[in-house]
């Protein structure tokens, strides 16, 4: 995956911090409860695909992609990026 998504960063820790850290910082700045992550799975044939969801202020946002089990942090990063983009437009 290209790194073009990082071009859309704001002041939220754009100095190399993870999307999860940026999301937590944005929630703190907006005086919101910290985000909560949930890992979800989907059995696909003989394999299981994994993804993540994050909830902020009752709004649940899903990661865009499904991942192999060894890449669960990527699923959380994906969900955090989606949530941060949502938070920027919603708040």
Per-residue pLDDT tens digits for 22-57: 999 999 999 999 999 999 999 999 999 999 999 999
Q: Are 49 and 39 in contact (CB under 8 A)?
A: no
**Which CATH architecture is the domain 33-91 placed in?**
2-Layer Sandwich (3.30)
Contact 83, 27 (CB under 8 A): no
Every domain of the chain and the residues it spans: 33-91
Q: How far apart are CA 4 and CA 1, in angstroms?
A: 9
Average pLDDT over residues 59-66: 98
pTM: 0.81
Query: Among 32, 22, 41, 15, which residue's Cα sits nearest to residue 82?
Result: 22
């Amino acid at each position: 995956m290209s790194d073009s998504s990082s071009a859309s960063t704001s002041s939220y820790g754009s100095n190399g911090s993870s999307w999860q850290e940026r999301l937590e910082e944005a929630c703190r700045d907006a005086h919101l409860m910290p985000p909560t992550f949930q890992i979800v799975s989907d059995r696909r044939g003989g394999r299981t695909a994994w993804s993540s969801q994050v909830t902020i202020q009752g709004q649940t946002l899903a990661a865009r992609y499904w991942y192999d089990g060894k890449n669960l942090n990527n699923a959380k990063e994906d969900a955090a990026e989606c949530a941060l983009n949502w938070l920027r437009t919603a708040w």
